[in-house]
Structure 1
Amino acid sequence: MAKKRGKGAGTTYFHKASNRWCAELNLGYDGDGKPLRVRSYHSTRKEAEGWLAEQVALYHKGLLADPSAITLQEWAERWLERKRREVRPRTFESYQYELGLVLPTLGKLPLQKITPSHIRALVDNLLQTRKPRTARAVRTRLHAIFEEALNLEVIHRNPVSPVKVKLPRGSTTDRAGRSLEAHEAAALLTALDTYKDERIALSLRLMLNLGLRVGETLGLQWQDLDLEAGTLTIRRAWSDGRLTEPKTPSSRRTLPVPHSTLERLRAYHAMWEDRLGETPPATLWLFPGNDPTRPLDYRAPAHALRRIVKALGIPPLRVHDLRHSYGSHLLANGAPLELVSERMGHANANITLSIYRHVLEHERQGWVVDVETLLSRPRAKA
């Protein structure tokens, strides 16, 4: 009977099937006497021995995880439970949805046994059955989960890192949505001036003219509006029936209000003074719902916008496209990228660049310098 190798013992050998050198480290045996091992394949014996020496050193320091300890399903559930307390409900639901596309396939596998080839096959399948945006989101979520396991020394490498999501040629996945053409924006603003519900009309105008998110708009209180200075400050957001912090620290921002919008806000303030018989209290919602202790229903602006654009004959438009239109038009009119990032409340300018790259590329095409023309110009006399 062959003698069992002890825990922490390893070997290297040539693996004919793969035509590579295999390094194998024994981590003991499970309850059925089956060996628990980690393996790695290399081009040369020297590379295999080097990898094995590193793993042996980690094992004897107590830093090498037991590959049978936890499955992806179990680890993902723990990760989700933490995230439930950290992120907004809608964000948490998106995490659940994305991982729901993974766990039926890979959930039962131990974390240590999931390889880049598993991730590659998963991503390729998603690219065939789902939108590229979904495939990328799933890959991002998995990377975060495995990265946490790596940092906590549950695994010794992140199998997601080598796998990238290659988008189809011409994909617009990076874009936040459709940007209104100038004539469409003009028609929409005119329609808002005569819309029956002043709250919804003005809230949609703020999204278009200041680039606010829906939750930021509905979370506004009168104390956030300075009619004298002409500024609006974002301090909170309303989402899923509850108040939350702004999406990122950078989302806490004070914005200058365009003159035409400021005039409408002043008229709106005067209307509420007449209606209440006093100046609106500082903590009263700028756009209260039928129950004045709560803002407008989160879905109300979207429903109204859908009806308005249909009546105008404008192609379908999401509420978030109003914010996207604001950012696009700022950049198209020469606003610096850093300023646009600040106004939009992005965490950094790289996020703005990734979303609005198509706008900047279009603008760059207009910067054409004809050197011959420059050289042919008469020089100014001294």
Structure 2
Amino acid sequence: MGRRPQGYVYQRRSDGRWVAEITIKGQRHYEYAATEDDAYALLAELRRLALSPAATPPRDQTLTVAAFAEQWLASASLSPSTEEHYREMLRRHVLPKIGATPLDQVKPQDIAQVIAAGKAKGPRIAEKAYVVSHRLFQVATEWGIIGDNPAARLSRPKVEAAPRIVWTREEVAAFTDAMLADPGQWGDLFVVVLYTGLRTSEALGLDWGDIRLAHRSLTVQRGLIELQGRRFVTRETKSRASRRSVSLPDQAIQALLHRGGFSGPVFRYEDGRPPSRSALRSALVWASKRAGVPYIGMHGLRHQHCTMLAWAGVPIKVAQERMGHSSPLITLSIYMHVLPEDHLLASELLDRLFEAG
């Protein structure tokens, strides 16, 4: 006698719907419900159908790429922003090409078509479409649904990184002076990010209870993440690297004192709303013009901070912990930027090393 099908019920984080899922003869079948009770009722019906010899399966037993993608994302432990990114890439660039194809019939040439379509929209789209496809089929392989990953037989599309703009010391000073003299709506936020290296989500997640001005430090405990439709979700910091204490230089303290309030979230509009990505971008574009410096973006301020740490001679391990990186290699390879004057300094130091006498 075969094993009695059990199944289980869970709630999707993406939209809050409840899912009743059961495996029958190696194939997963699932139904959706608005409430947990309804999902359990559906699961009971799925079990009854599975045990009935005359009953037909509740769904086509051919598991398509689109159906598996939904199963994967509904059960995966992903951050809200990562899940949203995966869903968007799948919806726009992957599933239109191979969504209706049975999962076990996808060939490397099918993935190649997805990549080719992405290249027509830009090299970055092609790379992201490949990454999401590779992950999806890798999970299907790990779950034992398919024998191997068809995307693994293709090379990841290469994307030439655009040169990142890095401010000179004079430009950092000009921007800082302009923001501290007249912060406007978000100039104090820009200065805090520039002098602490916080991620934008970490800065927006700050509460005054996280800041100890008397001790010149703040603690990163959470991030406020913007999803599509200007929806925001709070995510508690889980990794050891991201959960950290950051010391505050004078410039950051001045910016925080300007913000005032000292209770509740730090960076909000007067009505309590957090600023959106587009609002911060517009404000930073204007602030950069006012200070007479190139626009480098919110993430560019974080990059700039790590470069400033290098200028100050901060040890790489300290810089890594301050930035919240999981590895010093990330700090070195991504965030440490070299300016022309740094090469001149290297020559000067060598000259001093070999000076006679």
Q: TM-score, normalised by structure 1?
A: 0.65
More displaced stretch, 154-163 vs 328-337: 328-337
Report how many residues are paired: 291
What is aligned with 1:217?
203
Q: Is the 8 A contact 1:331 1:360 kept in 2?
A: no
What is aligned with 2:25?
none
Counterpart of 1:111, as a letter, is: L
In the alignment, structure 1 segments of 5+ residues that lack a partner are 1-67, 273-279
Q: Does 1:82 align with 2:62?
A: no
Q: Aligned partners of 1:358, 1:119: CA distance in 2, in Å? A: 36
Q: Is the 8 A contact 2:133 2:151 kept in 1?
A: yes
What is aligned with 1:136?
127
Q: How many percent identity over aligned positions?
A: 29
Q: Is the 8 A contact 2:204 2:266 kept in 1?
A: yes
Q: Is the 8 A contact 2:108 2:151 kept in 1?
A: yes
Give the CA deviation at 1:233.
0.6
Give the one of 140, 143, 155 matched to 1:152.
Answer: 143
What does 1:306-317 align with in structure 2 at a 5 Å threshold?
306-317=285-296
What does 1:67-146 align with in structure 2 at a 5 Å threshold?
69-83=62-76, 86-88=78-80, 90-99=81-90, 100-127=92-119, 129-146=120-137
Q: Is the 8 A contact 1:215 1:237 kept in 2?
A: yes
2:166 alignment partner, SS class: coil
What is aligned with 2:330?
351
Give the CA deviation at 1:235.
0.8
Q: Is the 8 A contact 1:250 1:346 kept in 2?
A: yes
What does 1:1-382 align with in structure 2 at a 5 Å threshold?
69-83=62-76, 86-88=78-80, 90-99=81-90, 100-127=92-119, 129-167=120-158, 171-172=160-161, 177-195=164-182, 197=184, 200-239=186-225, 240-246=231-237, 248-266=239-257, 269=260, 272=261, 280-281=262-263, 284-292=264-272, 294-296=273-275, 299-356=278-335, 359=338
| Bigger radius of gyration among the two | 1
Give the CA deviation at 1:180.
2.5
Q: Aligned partners of 1:316, 1:264: CA distance in 2, in Å? A: 20
Change (3 A) 1:316 1:196: closer
Q: Is the 8 A contact 1:180 1:322 kept in 2?
A: no
Q: Is the 8 A contact 2:114 2:129 kept in 1?
A: no
Q: Aligned partners of 1:356, 1:287: CA distance in 2, in Å? A: 25
Counterpart of 1:288, as a letter, is: R
Change (3 A) 1:336 1:144: farther
Q: TM-score, normalised by structure 2?
A: 0.69
Runs of 4+ in 1 over 6 A off after TM superposition: 360-369, 373-378
Change (3 A) 1:336 1:157: farther
